[in-house]
Amino acid sequence: MENKQGVILTQEGYDKMEEEIEILKTVKRKEIAERLKVAISFGDLSENAEYDEAKLEQAQLEEKIAKLENMLRTAEIIDDSSINADIVMVGSKVKVKDHDFDEEIEYTIVGSAEADPFEGKISNESPVGRSLLGNTVGDVVDVAVPDGVAKFEILSISRA
């Protein structure tokens, strides 16, 4: 979720983003610099596809680094101690019962920048995340899904 300053991140998400920037600045920059050196050694840069490709990749890398650094500069970090276990909010871990499939699912509600559905981290802007926000244990919420409407009952809420 974008706030007035920037993105909303958990401390874990902030730390992961810092780590990614460090890898991009050290490892990836070196890899691209090596590719550029090799491509330059081929001579004539005007007809050098390897050089053009490496320069493009270098530009994309620098753009990604700048974007991530800007996100960190303007990020709002969710303070774990401010997470109320009585109500679903960004930073909450929520266990729900999907009435359609009769199964329990656990989600962690995070800002969009660190959403990872494969790890159970869903964005507060996603249909499920948006529907769960502000609700409490025992609430049954309707979630608009591609097939229609799913019913989720909130079984528990805890800090992520």
- pLDDT tens digit string along 106-132? 999 998 888 998 999 999 999 999 999
Domain boundaries, the chain: 8-77, 80-159
Specify the residue for token string 């800007």: 70
Q: What is the mean pLDDT of the chain?
A: 89
CATH T-level fold of 80-159: Chitinase A; domain 3 (3.10.50)
CATH T-level fold of 8-77: Helix Hairpins (1.10.287)
**β-pairing, 92-98 with 148-159?**
antiparallel
- pLDDT tens digit string along 11-55? 888 999 999 999 999 999 999 999 999 888 887 777 788 889 999
Q: pTM for this structure?
A: 0.70
